Amino acid sequence: MHTDMFSYTVWIPLILLAAFLLVGLLSDKLKPLVAGLISTAAILLAAVLAYSAAAGYFFGAGLQDGHYTTLIPFEQLWLRFTDTLVIKMGILLDPISVMMLVVVTTVSAMVHIYSFGYMKGEKGFQRYYAFLSLFSFSMLGLVMATNLFQMYIFWELVGVSSYLLIGFYYQRPSAVAASKKAFIVTRFADLGFLIGILLLSYYTRTFDFMTLTQPNSGILSSAAGVSFMGASVLTWALVLIFMGGAGKSAMFPLHIWLPDAMEGPTPVSALIHAATMVVAGVYLVARLFAVYALGAPAALEVVAFIGAFTSLFAAIIAITQTDIKRVLAYSTISQIGYMMLALGVSGYGSEAGLGYTASMFHLFTHAMFKALLFLGAGAVIHAVHSNEMTDMGGLRKHLPITHFTFLIAALAISGIPPLAGFFSKDEILAAAHGHYPLYFWSGWFVAGLTAFYMFRLYFRVFWGEDRQYEHKPHDAPPSMAIALIFLALASVVVGFIPFSHYVSANGEPYTTHMHWQVAALSVAIAVAGIGLAAWMYLRPGTVADRLAAAMPGLYKWSKNKFYIDEIYLWVTRTLIFKGLAWPIAWFDRHVVDGTMNGMAWATAQVSEKIKGLQSGQLQQYAYAMVLGAVAFLLLLLYWGA
Amino acid sequence: MDRLSLLVWVPVITMIVISFFKDPKKVRLIAAAGMAVQLVQIILLMLAFFAERQAGNDAEMLFFKDIAWYSNLNIHYTVGIDGISLSLILLTGIVIFTGVFASWEITDRAQEFFITLILLATGVFGFFISLDLFTMFLFYELAVIPMYLLIGIWGSGPKEYSAMKLTLMLMGASALLLVGLLGIYFNSAPDGGPLTFNYIEISKIHLPEAVQYFFFPLTFVGFGVLAALYPFHTWSPDGHASAPTAVSMLHAGVLMKLGGYGALRIAVMLMPQAAHEMAWIFIILATIGAVYGALGAIAQKDLKYINAYSSVSHLGLILFATLIFNQVAFEGAVLQMISHGLITALFFALIGMIYSRTHTRNIYEMGGIMKVMPVLGTAYMVAGFASLGLPGFSAFVAEMTIFVGSFQNSALFVRVATILVISSIVITAVYILRAAAIMLYGPLRKQEFELLPDARWYDKVAVFILIGAIAGMGMFPNWLAEMIYTDFTPMFNRFIAN
Amino acid sequence: MIEGIEVFDVLVVSTAMFFIGIYGFMVRKNLITILMSVELILNAVNINFVIFNKYLYPDMLQGYIFSLFVTGIAAAEAAVAIAIILNVYRHMKGIDVEQVDTMKY
């Protein structure tokens, strides 16, 4: 059977779990280098297995009767709720999960190697590698999940790995605050995810992806029939599930944690907050795509709208940021918005599912060049010990490898042919155009903005005047350079993969063709964006400042990220903490507990009042006794008669 | 001597042996040895239980034993266990064993301390094995009373006040409970015949509805107070804050579960109609408890208060699940009892250890202590993650079982309550991470903390056993869940039939 | 039967004794006199026991026996009470009953 030949895939996550436990439990007892090597060996081994699984799947067992089937080589009961609602732990192989296996292991392996140079001499090196292994384990568990609940479990685990890695420098208050924020915001989004799962499973009686995504199974129509507040419960459930995805993928308005997450070590940002974990939301929607497309197209509209809006919104903010990692973070948000948009506009089918293919394609290419951008930024930060663009300039002479690879990545994300980003972005725009032209124009405009802010960053960092550096900036050490060069190569070539031959909404391979008009338009605006950036930042001058001064309102709003953080702060600090938590604590101490203490006090008061009766005067007692006896006697006589 | 009575006798013998020694070092060794024997015995009991079940013994209660000890009122010493009580016995065994290690540093009147502590545990073990309401009540009181001495003598802060408050509130609840239990007893033979205290027998008959309506609230509230039912929870923050470490562990970890267990097993199971009719009141209270406790915890500065409010919140979940009336939710309630028992015991153990080093429990006076105490700090994070329901730890399993169970009840009222209850897990994340961020992370706040020692060997024993149990239950939940679920079946079928 | 003395006459005496005892118990302040009042009460009861036995159940002995019990108890009580009173005197420097109120609240 085909599934047997993939049973080794169960080792892919397990190797990493073993590495995590080994490095995590021994921790300081291991030499830093040994810890790093154990983790790196584990991820490399996992990568080899993942590549062989991909090769075996795409060029062999996966394709049956003209379309790619879903294989489940391993499944184990984990927890049983009812007869049908069971959580299983398993491995699911289908085109997108195999693709994600490749992405995750590749980027993760590069980050492991890169970190040898970047994290050299840091305190907690072992802890760092342990967390990286934990993250890779969780992420792989997530992508290979066979059911919603397994996905939710690993979803939470990647969240916690992200928390641990953002807060890696735990003595820095800003890192602690950022990690807390990231965890709580995504946790809040996961609330929606969880309720969505519960709602969906209540009506469909299953958590299994296989059962859920079976087209025409009738399982969905039963749920689609029940409506609540004007929409079917299926729509509600899927929108709630998308809320979880939006939280993890930093979609507006749940995006606020991602820019702050840049407090983590830069390789972590590359791995978790650019290439893998943040696209989990996209992956989730893609995983349930059949349910969305066939069961609740209305929910898909929500996905498309949020995606389109976020991509525009984040791109506008990215223009004015000066922290290079933050620029990249907003760029990530914007690009993930693209992927969501593509999913949202997609139909179900092979050709009709162009958006689906485009989204996955962009996820794939974006992982490569965005990881490269982050790692390049890491090399820059490593060299100048600052995140601020204002501290940088003229670095192309000092960091030739970094400069060259960064340029490739910047061109790729801007959509300049023949680099990877061009192909995937072209497909997204074509799909958007087929669905609703406004989405196309907004996406097109974002493409220009992307080119502009990317090259603004590039020119300000690598060109222009040298700044006062503490010491002469040095280029990336070999371990970092290897990763940069590998990813640069990937960014060049992955665009040529005929993606639609492998990934499509219903599993049937098909062939896409270039959309020349779309391509021409998008290249034109990308070049325009680059040109504008060159004009503004390449030559000495004050164009940028004057422009900012000319549009003070827009500049200020963009610079301050549209005050979304402030709104959140107001909601949490003022509404929840000051408006709810503190009053409740007060209420509990003074009213609830006060009632209890009041009862005790009242008892004490009564006893205080009546204790005078116990006077110690023997003869008073005697009086009372005699009077009582007489009273009883009289009563007896009276009643007796 | 039968197996189950041994569960009571081993602690009693340990107490007797301790009473011959005065030296704290010897006393704690004896206590540890006694509780180790107890734990081993529980594990053996568990294996025997599985063997019996494997062999096809599907009697509702295994290791059944029945001795009449006051036949005039038909009071029996009836013992027996099923998967539900067994799992709680295991919990108690783990918590008391680790509790002894957490009180390793007690030197002030150590002999009396350990005797009282083990007396409390004896009561708990007796409670879980009893099938006779009267004997059960007796053991219940035996577990509650030592608390007064333990907090009043070995506590800290306003200990007399807290001890008094806790004992009075619990005694008040006991009074309600006693009335409820007697009410059940005097109506236990509606068709004539001898009255009985045996709750298995009672659950097979149909108590008259008027009786149910009167005694269900009494019994539920009576047990509910011990399980911190809102608004009768205020003994818990003060009591926990003043109690010595091991007592907090046992109290929050085990004693509060007596309330949940009783509410489920006695109140709900014996009086299903009344439970059904009146559920809405208690669902509202439990929902308030779950959300309110979590919100209240955000505003606390004292670690023990944070944890006490957290307990209110998590116990709210248990009470909530007992009122959903389906087998999955019931199973979830029991899982949550075990999970919360382990996690909160770990929390209180860690808080005690941190307190004994820093001499403060105010999170704002600490800061950055992760750097000086990596083991304790990491363990605290693990406890925190477990508590906020991270997969891989026990609370996730328990909470998800409760949520899935309560989602099977599609009444809109229950739906809304369920969603509110689910939202409490987000608030949990807020207060856990807030406390951790202030206390553990950031720069070291006080220079004198630089020299504080990390966990000692006995601290590690307590911490690692608890973490092991939490992670074990979190990673391999199914055997426990299956055991509880299956053993609920006969009870649940009667519940439905009634 | 004693000539000319009816039950009624004896009962008048015992009732008078009883109430004199009660009165003394309630108004005298000296503990010794209070004790004496108690003796009066007890002896009034004794008289009743004896006289009822004599007149109502001449064949039985319970009344006599019981009066002996009462006398015995009274003797024991007097011994204890005197001991208490002596201790009170030592402690309080007096045997005024109003002074002895340390058992209040």
pLDDT tier at A3, thresholds 50, 70, 90: low
What contacts A575, CB < 8 A, 6 or more positions away?
none
Flag whether B touches C (3+ CB pairs, 8 A cutoff). no
pLDDT at A466 over 90: no
Question: What percentage of chain B carries pLDDT values higher than 70?
Answer: 100
A230 shares contact with chain C (CB less than 8 Å): no
pLDDT attached to residue C105? 65
On whether the CB atoms of residues B244 and B334 are closer than 8 A, the answer is no
A-chain CB neighbours of B235 within 8 Å are 596
Greatest Cα pair distance, chain B, in angstroms, is 75
Nearest one of A63, A198, A43 to A132, comparing CA atoms: A43
Exposure string for A580-599, b = 16+ CB within 10 A, e = fewer: bbeebbeebbeebbeebeee
Residues counted in chain A: 641
Segment B180-192 mean pLDDT: 85
**Predicted local confidence at residue B41, as pLDDT:** 92
Per-residue confidence (pLDDT) for residue A291, from 0 to 100: 86
**pLDDT at res. B179:** 92
φ, ψ at B76 (rounded to 5°): -120, 155
Which of A81, A176, A593 is closest, CB to CB, to B437? A176
Cα–Cα distances (Å) from B18 to A116, A467, B15, B28, B142, in that order, read 57, 75, 5, 9, 19
From chain A residues 582-621, the ones with a CB under 8 A of any chain B CB are: 582, 584-586, 588, 592-593, 595-597, 600
Using one digit for the tens of pLDDT, what is the confidence trace for A307-357? 999 999 899 888 888 888 888 999 999 999 989 998 888 888 777 788 888
pLDDT class for B124, splitting at 50, 70, 90? very high
pLDDT for B71: 81
Q: What is the pLDDT of residues A369-393, one digit of tens each?
A: 899 999 988 888 888 888 888 778 7
> Which helix (DSSP H) or strand (DSSP E) does residue B427 occupy?
helix B412-439
At residue B454, the pLDDT reads 82
Under a CB-based contact definition with an 8 Å cutoff, are residues A183 and A159 in contact? yes
The tokens for C45 are 């009861």
Mean pLDDT of A19-34: 86
Place of tokens 């749940």: A254
Residue C105 to residue A617, Cβ atoms within 8 A: no
Q: What are phi and psi of A99, to 5 degrees?
A: -60, -45
Tokens of B305: 């208060």
Question: Which of A393-397, A595-599, A620-624, B122-126 has the least mean pLDDT?
Answer: A393-397
Question: Which whole-number Å values give the CA distances from B26 to B19, B99, B154, in the listed order?
Answer: 11, 16, 19
Both tokens assigned to B215 = 């005694």
How confident is the model at residue C79, as a pLDDT? 93
CA angle A376, A425, A312 (to 5 degrees): 80
CA A237 to chain centre: 20
ipTM of the complex: 0.91
What is the pLDDT averaged over residues A279-308? 88
Q: In terms of C-beta density within 10 A (0-12 exposed, 13-18 middle, 19 or more buried), how is residue B280 classed? A: middle
- Select the residue from A147, A157, A194 to test the B interface by mutation, using most B Cβ atoms within 10 A: A194
Tally C-beta pairs within 8 A across A and B: 125
A623 in reach of chain C (CB within 8 A): yes
pLDDT at A231: 75
The domain spans of chain C are: 7-92
- Range name among A184-198, B298-312, B478-492 with the lowest pLDDT average: B478-492
- Asked whether A50 and A39 are in contact (CB, 8 A), the reply is no
| A456, A536 Cβ separation under 8 angstroms | yes
Instruction: Say what the pLDDT of residue A2 is.
Output: 60
What is the per-residue pLDDT for B236? 87
A217 confidence band (pLDDT: 50, 70, 90):
low
- pLDDT (tens digit per residue) in A170-208: 888 888 888 888 898 899 899 999 999 998 888 888 888
pLDDT of residue A194: 92
Residue A92 CA neighbour count, 13 Å, CB half: 23
Q: Looking at beta carbons, which pairs linking A631-638 to residues 24 or more positions away fall under 8 Å?
A: none
For B178, which DSSP code?
H
Provide the CATH topology of domain C7-92. Answer: Helix Hairpins (1.10.287)
**Phi, psi torsion values for B63, nearest 5 degrees:** 55, 40
Q: Are A243 and A60 in contact (CB under 8 A)?
A: no
Q: Kindly state whether B471 is in contact with chain A, defined as any CB-CB distance less than 8 angstroms.
A: no
Chain C contact probe: residue of A619, A626, A633 with most C CBs at under 10 A:
A619
Closest partner residue to A616 (CB to CB) among C25, C27, C104 is C104
Contact B235, B202 (CB under 8 A): no
Model confidence at B1: pLDDT above 60 = no
Return the higher-pLDDT residue of A586 and B1.
A586
Tokens of B371: 């750097």
Predicted confidence (pLDDT) at residue C1 exceeds the cutoff of 70 = no
Q: What is the 3-state secondary structure (H, E, C) of A527-582?
A: HHHHHHHHHHHCCCCCHHHHHHHHCHHHHHHHHCHHHHHHHHHHHHHHHHHHHHHH
Collapse the DSSP code of A89 into the 3-class scheme (helix H, G, I; strand E, B; otherwise coil) and give the result: strand
Q: Which of A181, A327, A180, A331 is nearest to A254 (CA)?
A: A181
C22–A contact, CB cutoff 8 A: yes
Tokens for A20, please give them: 């995590």
Rg of chain C in Å (alpha carbons): 17
Measured distance CA(A624)–CA(A626) in Å, rounded: 6
Three-state secondary-structure class, residue B78: strand
**Radius of gyration, CA atoms only, chain A:** 31
User: How large is the average pLDDT for residues A499-526?
Assistant: 82
> What letter represents residue B372's amino acid?
V
Q: Is the dihedral of CA C84, C90, C94, C100 positive or negative?
A: negative
Q: Is A629 exposed, middle or buried (0-12, 13-18, 19+ CB in 10 A)?
A: exposed
Closest-CA residue to B321 (of B281, B286, B274): B286
Q: Is the dihedral angle over the CA atoms A432, A438, A439, A443 positive or is it negative?
A: positive
Burial label, A4 (beta-carbon count in 10 A; 0-12, 13-18, 19+): exposed
Q: How far apart are CA A366 and CA B264, in angstroms?
A: 53
Which residues between 381 and 410 in chain A have a beta carbon less than 8 angstroms from any beta carbon of chain B?
A: none
Sign of CA dihedral A106, A109, A113, A118: positive
Give me the sign of the Cα torsion angle A488, A492, A498, A503: positive
CB contact under 8 A, A616 and C103: yes
- What pLDDT does A6 receive? 82
Q: Give the separation between CA B250 and CA B258, rounded to whole angstroms.
A: 11
| Cross-chain residue pair A622–C100, CB shorter than 8 Å | no
The model's pLDDT over B448-464, given as tens digits with 9 standing for 90+, comes to 877 788 878 888 888 99
Residue C2 confidence (pLDDT)? 64
Distance between CA atoms of residues A61 and A1, nearest Å: 9
Q: What is the mean pLDDT of chain B?
A: 88
CA distance B349 to B229: 24
Residue type, position A513, single letter: H
Q: Cis omega before residue A418 (within 30°)?
A: yes
Whether A615 sits inside 8 A of C22 (CB atoms) is no
CB contact under 8 A, A619 and C104: no
Task: Kindly state the helix (H) or strand (E) to which residue A199 belongs, with its residue range.
Answer: helix A173-204
Min Cα distance C85 → chain A (Å) is 14
Number of Cβ atoms within 10 Å of the Cβ of A546: 10
Rounded CA-CA distance A415/A360 in Å is 16
CA angle in degrees (0–180, nearest 5) for A528-A532-A538: 135
What radius of gyration, in Å, describes the C-alpha atoms of chain B?
Answer: 21
pLDDT of A220 above 60:
yes
C3 at A interface, C-beta within 8 A:
no
Residue C43, pLDDT above cutoff 80: yes
pLDDT at B122: 92
Distance CA(A398)–CA(A381), nearest Å, equals: 13
d(CA A565, CA A27): 37
Find where tokens 């005929």 sit. A498
DSSP B124-142: HHHHHHB-BHHHHHHHHHH
Residues A89-137: tens digit of each pLDDT = 889 888 889 999 999 999 999 999 988 888 888 888 888 899 999 999 9
In the predicted model, what is the mean pLDDT of residues B223-236?
88
Q: Residues A474, A478, A483, CA angle at the centre, nearest 5°?
A: 110
Percent of chain A with pLDDT over 90: 16
| Selection from A172, A169, A110 nearest residue A476 by Cα | A110
| C68 in contact with A, Cβ within 8 Å | no
Q: What is the 3-state secondary structure (H, E, C) of A285-342?
A: HHHCHHHHHHHCHHHHHHHHHHHHHHHHHHHHHHHHCCEHHHHHHHHHHHHHHHHHHH
A161-177 burial: b if 16+ Cβ within 10 Å, else e:
bbbbbbbbbbbebebbb
Count of beta carbons in the 10 Å neighbourhood of residue A471: 8
Please answer yes or no on whether B299 and A149 come within 8 Å at the CB atom. no
Reported as a single tens digit per residue, the pLDDT across B257-279 is 999 999 988 888 888 888 888 88
The alpha carbon dihedral of A226, A232, A238, A239 has a sign of negative
Higher-pLDDT residue of B90, B3: B90
**Range with the poorest average pLDDT among B139-143, B374-378, B492-496, C89-93:** B492-496
The DSSP symbol for B63 reads E
Partnered with residue C30 across adjacent β-strands are C96
Share above pLDDT 70 across residues of chain C, in percent, rounded to a whole number: 97
- Using a CB-CB distance cutoff of 8 angstroms, which residues of chain B are in contact with residue A25? none
Secondary structure letter of residue B207 according to DSSP: -
Taking only the tens place, the pLDDT of each residue in B24-49 is 888 889 999 999 999 999 999 999 98
Its sign, for the CA torsion A271, A273, A274, A280, is positive
Q: What was the pLDDT predicted at A387?
A: 82
Reported as a pLDDT band with limits 50, 70 and 90, residue B107 is: confident
Whether the per-residue pLDDT at C20 is higher than 90: the answer is: yes
Nearest CA in chain B to A572: B430
What's the whole-number average pLDDT of chain A?
A: 85
CB distance B111 to B22 below 8 Å: yes
* pLDDT range class, residue B466, cuts 50, 70, 90: very high
> C83 to chain A nearest CA, in Å?
18
| Closest CA–CA distance from residue A576 to any residue of chain C (Å) | 51
Can you give the pLDDT at residue C13?
A: 93
* A187 contact B CB<8A: yes
